[in-house]
Amino acid sequence: MPNTSCDEAVFSSLFEKHSKDLFNYLYYKYGANLNPDDRVQEAFVKLWQNCAKVPPKKAKGFLYKVANNNSLNELAHLKVVHKHAPSRAKYTTYEDPQFEMETQEFSEKLQKAIADLSGPQRVAFLLNRIEGKKHKEIAEILGVSTKTVEKRIYGAFKKLKIDIKEL
């Protein structure tokens, strides 16, 4: 069956096209504890099982929907706080313990504040600041308008500002 998602060549190119973005999206939205790599696998397995019903054009929407549902169910039962473990490369040669401590404190405040953002705000903000994706690119990934992405990023920043100053 050429040109449907059931065709091996089509399916593997869908994987190449969407898997990494989906992985990053899930990681930023739900954190590492929810095993984003497993969620990606599950979503593609489901796509394969339904390949006759989901044309390649609709594959992306399908994958994100399945992955989001599975993650939300897992979240509801695990009730974990999102952990985006910072891997701190030493980008400074300072050995001033005071400086180290302040940076560490800021990092922890920031981590908590990021975990407190809403899922949509967090994904948009992190995709922009960490992955360097522009508004337009994020809008394409999430399937929303550029204006919506703007609102989510500003909303995230405003909330972070308040949380960081308070903590």
Partner 1 sequence: MKTNEDLLRKWLDNELDASELQAFNALEDSALLEKISLEMQSFKAPEYDSVLEFEKLKSALKSPVNLVVRPNFRAVWSYAAALLIGLGLFFTVRFSNTSQTTDMAEIKSQRLPDSSMVTVNAASTLTYNTLLWRFDRQLELDGEAYFEVVKGSDFTVNTHLGSVTVVGTKFKVKQRSNYFEVVCYEGTVSVSISNEIYLLNQGERLLKADDRQDQRSSIKEDVPSWIQKSSAFTAAPIQRVLNELERQYAVKILTNGIDTRSLFTGRFTHDNLELALKSITLPMGYVYSVTPNSIVVSVE
Contacting positions for partner 1 (CB under 8 A): 8, 11-12, 15-16, 19-20, 23-24, 27-28, 32, 36-37, 40-41, 44-45, 48, 70, 73-74, 76-77, 84, 86-89, 103, 106-107, 110-111, 114, 126, 128-132, 134-135, 150, 153-154, 157, 160-161, 164
Closest CB 76 distance from partner 1, rounded Å: 8
The two tokens of residue 34 are 């929810």
Which CB atom, from 57 or from 85, has the smaller least distance to partner 1?
85
Single-letter residue type at 44: F
DSSP for the chain reads -TTSTTSHHHHHHHHHHHHHHHHHHHHHHH-GGG-HHHHHHHHHHHHHHTTTTS-HHHHHHHHHHHHHHHHHHHHHHH-PPP--------------HHHHHHHHHHHHHHHHHHHHS-HHHHHHHHHHHTT---HHHHHHHHTS-HHHHHHHHHHHHHHHHHHHHH-
Closest CB 75 distance from partner 1, rounded Å: 10
Residue 166, burial from CB neighbour count under 10 angstroms (0-12, 13-18, 19+):
exposed
Closest CB 32 distance from partner 1, rounded Å: 8
Which CB atom, from 92 or from 118, has the smaller least distance to partner 1?
92
Which CB atom, from 58 or from 134, has the smaller least distance to partner 1?
134
Closest CB 12 distance from partner 1, rounded Å: 7
Closest CB 44 distance from partner 1, rounded Å: 6
